[in-house]
């Protein structure tokens, strides 16, 4: 920065990383952004499955020194669940069964890489009666 001010947006270890251009993610973004597979609509209070995977767009390392430590799923800002992983013997994919009584606009998944910080993706979903 010309004025010497340091910005959180310039540091991947600061805050939550989201794709800068979702239609054209960088290789770093492809390696870290969780991919959410879920129906576009779900019935009120009807269980449905949400699959979350890191590495689907571009493989992420999975070794003791560099791995995805956990995945979390949210409906809007409401926490729904978490899966934790170790480096080497696991693969960062989780299937959550959830039921929602109302929508928050989108499902959100967060993934933490032990070297590259916190990443978030979202997928719209509508809860219908
Ligand atoms: Fe990483």
Tens-binned pLDDT, residue by residue, of the chain (129 aa) = 457 787 887 889 999 999 999 899 999 999 999 999 999 999 999 999 999 999 999 999 999 999 999 999 999 999 999 999 999 889 999 999 999 998 888 999 999 999 999 999 999 999 999
Q: 68 CA to middle of ligand 1, Å? A: 7
What is the Cα–Cα distance from 69 to 61, expressed in whole angstroms?
12
> 87: which DSSP letter?
T
- Determine the distance separating the centroid of ligand 1 and the alpha carbon of 62, expressed in angstroms: 9
pTM of the model: 0.92
Ligand 1 centre and the CA of 129: distance in Å? 40
**Interval between CA 70 and ligand 1 midpoint (Å):** 12
Distance 113 CA to ligand 1 centre (A): 5
* Domains defined along the chain, listed by start: 8-128 (2.60.40.730)
């Amino acid at each position: 920065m010309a004025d010497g001010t340091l910005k959180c947006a310039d540091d991947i270890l600061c805050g939550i990383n989201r794709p800068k251009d979702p239609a054209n993610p960088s290789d770093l973004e492809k390696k870290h952004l969780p991919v959410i597979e879920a129906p576009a609509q779900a019935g009120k209070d009807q269980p449905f499955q949400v699959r979350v995977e890191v590495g689907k767009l571009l493989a992420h390392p999975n070794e003791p020194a560099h791995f995805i430590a956990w995945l979390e799923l949210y409906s809007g800002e409401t926490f729904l669940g978490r899966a934790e992983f170790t480096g080497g013997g696991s693969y960062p994919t989780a299937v959550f069964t959830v039921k929602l009584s109302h929508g928050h606009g989108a499902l959100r998944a967060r993934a933490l890489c032990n070297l590259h910080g916190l990443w978030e993706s979202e997928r719209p979903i509508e809860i219908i009666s």
